[in-house]
Chains A and B, each alone.
Chain A
Amino acid sequence: MTLTSAQGEGFETGRERVSPSACPACIAAPSADQIARKAAQEAGARIMLSLPTAHCAVCISDVERALMAEPGVRSARVNLTLKRVSVEAEAEVTAPALVGVLDAIGYEAHELDPGLLSATENDRRGRDLLMRIGVAGFAMMNIMLLSVAVWSGAEDATRDMFHWVSAAIAIPTTLFAGQPFFKSALAALRGGRLGMDVPISLAILLALGISLFETAHSGAHAYFEAATMLTFFLLVGRYLDYRTRAVARSAAEELAALEVPRATVLREEGEVVVPVGELRVGDLVRVRPGGRIPADGIVEAGHSETDRALLTGETLPVQVTPGAVLSAGEVNLTGPLSLRVTAAGRDSSLHRMADLVATAESARTRYTSLAERAARAYAPVVHLLALGAFCGWAWGTGGDFRLAVNIAAAVLIITCPCALGLAVPAVVTAASGKLFRRGLLIKDGTALERLAEIDTVVFDKTGTLTLGTPRPQNLDALDETSLSVAMALAEGSAHPLARALHAAALASNARPADLEDLREVPGFGIAARWQGREVRLGRADWIGAEVGQATATHLSIEGQLPRTIRFSDALRPGAEAVVAGLKAQGKSVWLVSGDVEPAVADLAGRLGITEFRAGVLPMEKAQLVTDLSAQGAHVLMVGDGLNDTAALAGAHVSISPASALDAARTASDMVLLGQDLEPVAEAARIARAARRRIKQNFAISILYNVVAVPLALSGLATPLLAALAMSASSITVSLNALRLR
């Protein structure tokens, strides 16, 4: 026994080496380090850019080299996992300049607001879990080494010594590494529930307790390696689960950070740029053409047009004159506007819409995931089995409680949901990684399972199936001179229709006519003189043309009849493929839009969608989704606008493109990162495959139990058997998850 105590001391020093890194202060240490680093960087600028298209080694070196070549850039580092680049630079380097640099070499980049990216918090939790995995893994391997010796025939004092050393490693390790389970088990018990973590914690603690008792009484069986192995495998499952969520969360934060919200306020001292959150009622805000209206307000000065597509779905710009009431989220198109703020922040219409979403979300029946359902069925069965084993053996042996407790513990350890804990996270990690590579981001853990159940898909039109950018339809109806005049006029404006017209004319190799005295009349159009004649491009009522239904601009040349140039929305890439793909999977596809009937019918015809609704108000969209659900359909809603948010939140599962408004992205379960719509059909397929894998995994872990439980119940289970069953089932389940195609 002197030998044993010497080993005990030897271990103590070993443990001291471990514990410093385990103390809370040390977990906090990296963040303190980070704060220090951040402070050091304050002198210069730290710029974060999102790089949605980066995917390979060449991208990394291209981007880093291009950025490093910029004067003033101190360092640039691409993070491919997060698809971001962080740049440290002198204060005079600006993000738009760097975006321009990357654009020139063919990489799409967007500025990110570093303040909104709470990477530190995510990192700390992830690293905390990783550290526990490391400690558990270290302990597991060492104990296994000793256990193998015991299993291969170590006896008497040697076996006892091995058990004691194992105990000295296992007890502190499991108490430290198992904390995530103990905490959530406690929380579950307090809430009166039996989650997956209660049987887990019970199994770990019982295994430790029994083994310690057996060791003290020179027993043959100790389950120390089972306890640490259990902790290790379950922590891996927990980490995978966390990792999927963290990647999704950080990308979601990134989307929010994409809109660096600032407003230009006119004060006595001149123009001041302030964060939108600091706007007050009564402030006079200046909105330049192309800018988004930061808060609700009344126009005091300026003529312009605004694009309300994100709020209402209508593609036609709305004319704005002094006295007009504007809502936050509209985009100012042609002229500068001065806006008196009437509601800001919490009270603005954007936020009221967000509240509407919150109500819709809470109304959505809470989805019980497969894992939850499995845990709910599983926990009572396990506990009853263990109790039954205890009672049965206690009665059968006439009161041999030591044996009965031993067998009950063996039952608990063997049935412990090692594979069950990995079954869902392993598949979800594989599936969401696959979808992420295709440009689809899963924000909600159960979204994948819900996506597997859909049978109806509802699409929004503007900005979802279409890009929201117009394209002229009847340019070939214009003769060459008119086209060159129209092109020259269009060149002078930033209005989306004018820009689209100019781009299309450029593509058809037209040359702009020579114009004089070019001037933009905000809210109406552009006028100029051409060969001594007055020429105009703009609104129908200003030109004197007939006001039509479709999106159009009008050209007048003095002495000629006004011409109408009609526009249609450009299809989003992959729109045809996604509709065809979903139909091939047997889903019914709907098109619902707030836009006018002809535009919607035209698009539906082009895509082969038979079910469509036009002129739908936001509430009606949500109602339609609710009605479909009431008829038993599982609806996938794909939309981008503020008018879609209630429908997005109310649907069984929802997807929005990255170009969508913040509120819409928040309301949806998945976000499409690229321009292409096609991953949506792919996602539906992968989701079904993933659900199949999850169910297979459950079947595998149940199969192991079917074999092992009778052995445990009959008292034949040994620690070796428990270890084999546990690792074999965990590994099979993980490998099965990797088979996902």
Chain B
Amino acid sequence: MDVLIYFIPISLFLGGIGLLAFLWTLRSRQYDDPKGDAERILSDTYDDRPKSD
């Protein structure tokens, strides 16, 4: 069971990465327009190259 001493921190760390990723999506306003995002995937406007900012 000694292996737990590595596994538990690793699992917490991975979970933490997930949480941070979630917080990042939240901060970069990716939940502002869920309906629009669902529709935008059907548009072929930026299929060739991404939008230039």
Query: Which A residues are within 8 Å of any B CB, using their own CB?
Result: 3, 6-7, 10-11, 14, 17-18, 21, 29-30, 56-58, 60-61, 64-65, 78-82, 123, 127, 130-131, 134-135, 138, 141-142, 145-146, 158, 161, 165, 169
Q: Given the complex of chains A and B, what is the CA–CA distance between A10 and B13 in angstroms?
A: 9
Inter-subunit contact B45/A61 (CB<8 Å): yes
- The SS class assigned to the B binding surface is helix
**In the complex, which residues of chain B have a beta carbon less than 8 angstroms from the beta carbon of A56?**
39
- For residue B35, CB closer than 8 A to chain A, the reply is yes
Interface of A is mostly: helix
Q: What is the minimal beta-carbon distance from A48 to any residue of chain B, in angstroms?
A: 14
Does B8 lie within 8 Å of A57, measured CB to CB?
A: no
Contact with A along B32-44 (1 / 0, CB 8 A): 1111100111110
- Which 3 pairs, one residue from A and one from B, show the smallest C-beta to C-beta distance? A80-B36, A57-B42, A57-B39
- Taking A18-B16, A123-B32, A141-B15 as contacts, is the C-beta distance between A10 and B39 under 8 angstroms? no
Q: Is B42 a contact of A10 with CB atoms below 8 Å?
A: no
Q: Within the assembled complex, what's the spacing in Å between the Cα atoms of A57 and B39?
A: 5
- What's the Cα separation between A514 and B18 when bound, in Å? 76
Query: Do the beta carbons of A134 and B26 come within 8 Å of each other?
Result: yes
Instruction: Report A364 CB to chain B, min CB distance, Å.
Output: 34
For the complex, give the distance between the alpha carbons of A81 and B38 in Å: 10
Q: Tell me the nearest residue of chain B to A6, going by C-beta.
A: B5
Given A138-B15, A158-B1, A79 and B32 touching (CB < 8 A)?
yes
A158 / chain B contacts, CB cutoff of 8 Å:
1, 4
Looking at B4, B11, B12, B33, the one whose CB has the most chain A CB atoms below 10 A away is B12
B40 interface neighbour in A10, A11, A60, A130, Cβ under 8 Å: A60
Q: How far is the CA of A131 from the CA of B20 in the complex (A)?
A: 10
Q: Which of B4, B5, B36, B43 contacts A79 (CB 8 A)?
A: B36
Task: Out of B9, B18, B35, B45, name the residue touching A10 (CB < 8 Å).
Answer: B9
> A158 to B7, alpha carbons, bound, how many Å?
13
A78-B36 in contact (CB<8A) = yes
Instruction: Chain B residues near A60: list those with CB within 8 A.
Output: 36, 39-40, 43
B44 to chain A: closest residue by CB? A61
Interface size class, chain B: 20 to 34
Nearest CB in chain B to that of A58: its residue: B43
Of A29, A81, A123, A146, the residue contacting B35 (CB under 8 A) is A81
B43 / chain A contacts, CB cutoff of 8 Å = 57-58, 60-61
CB distance from A8 to the nearest CB of B (A): 11
Beyond the given pairs A7-B5, A82-B33, A135-B19, 18 more chain A to chain B contacts, judged by CB atoms under 8 angstroms and listed by A's residue number, are A14-B12, A17-B16, A17-B20, A21-B20, A57-B41, A61-B43, A61-B45, A81-B32, A81-B35, A127-B26, A127-B27, A131-B23, A134-B23, A141-B15, A142-B11, A145-B11, A146-B8, A158-B1
A366 to B27, CA, bound (A): 39
CA distance A432 to B36 in the complex (A): 18
Bound together, the chains give a CA A208 to CA B17 distance in angstroms of 26
Measured CA separation A165–B45 after assembly (Å)? 49
**Cβ contact of A80, chosen from B1, B13, B39, cutoff 8 A:** B39
B25 → A minimal CB distance (Å)? 9
- Whether B40 and A81, one on each chain, are in contact in the complex, defined by CB atoms closer than 8 angstroms, is no
In the complex, A17→B15 CA distance in Å?
12
- Within the assembled complex, what's the spacing in Å between the Cα atoms of A414 and B4? 31
Q: Is the CB of A3 within 8 A of B5?
A: yes
| Closest A residue to B31 using CB positions | A130
A30 B27 Cβ-Cβ under 8 A: yes
Which chain A residues lie closer than 8 Å to B20 at the CB level?
17, 21
In the bound assembly, the distance between CA atoms of A161 and B45 in angstroms comes to 54
- The distance from the CB of B14 to the nearest CB of chain A, in whole angstroms, is 9
Q: How far is the CA of A61 from the CA of B41 in the complex (A)?
A: 11
Report yes or no: B9 in contact with A81, Cβ–Cβ below 8 A: no
Using A7-B8, A138-B16, A138-B18 as known contacts, say yes or no to A21 and B39 having CB atoms under 8 A apart: no
Contacts of B9 in A (CB 8 A): 7, 10, 14
Are the CB atoms of B33 and A11 closer together than 8 Å?
no
Given A57-B40, A80-B33, A81-B35, CB of A130 within 8 Å of CB of B26: yes
* Chain A residue contacts of B42, Cβ below 8 A: 57
For the complex, give the distance between the alpha carbons of A127 and B24 in Å. Answer: 11
Partner of B34 from the list A58, A81, A134, A142 (CB cut-off 8 Å) is A81
A-B contact pairs, 8 of them (CB 8 A): A17-B16, A18-B19, A58-B43, A60-B39, A80-B33, A80-B35, A131-B26, A142-B12
CB neighbours of A131 from chain B (8 A): 23, 26
**Whole-angstrom CA separation of A61 from B4 in the bound complex:** 53
Bound together, the chains give a CA A134 to CA B31 distance in angstroms of: 13
Complex Cα distance A111/B51, Å? Answer: 27
* A702 vs chain B, min Cβ distance (A): 33
Do residues B15 and A142 form an inter-chain contact, with CB atoms below 8 A?
yes
Report the separation of the CA atoms of residues A610 and B15 in the bound assembly, to the nearest whole angstrom: 66
Contacts A21-B23, A57-B42; A81 near B5 (Cβ below 8 A) = no
A residues less than 8 Å from B22 (CB atoms): 134, 138
Query: How far is it, in angstroms, between the C-alpha of A57 and the C-alpha of B37 when the chains are bound?
Result: 9
Q: Is the CB of B36 within 8 A of A81?
A: yes
In the bound assembly, the distance between CA atoms of A6 and B2 in angstroms comes to 13
Identity of the chain A residue whose Cβ is nearest the Cβ of B51 in the assembled complex:
A75
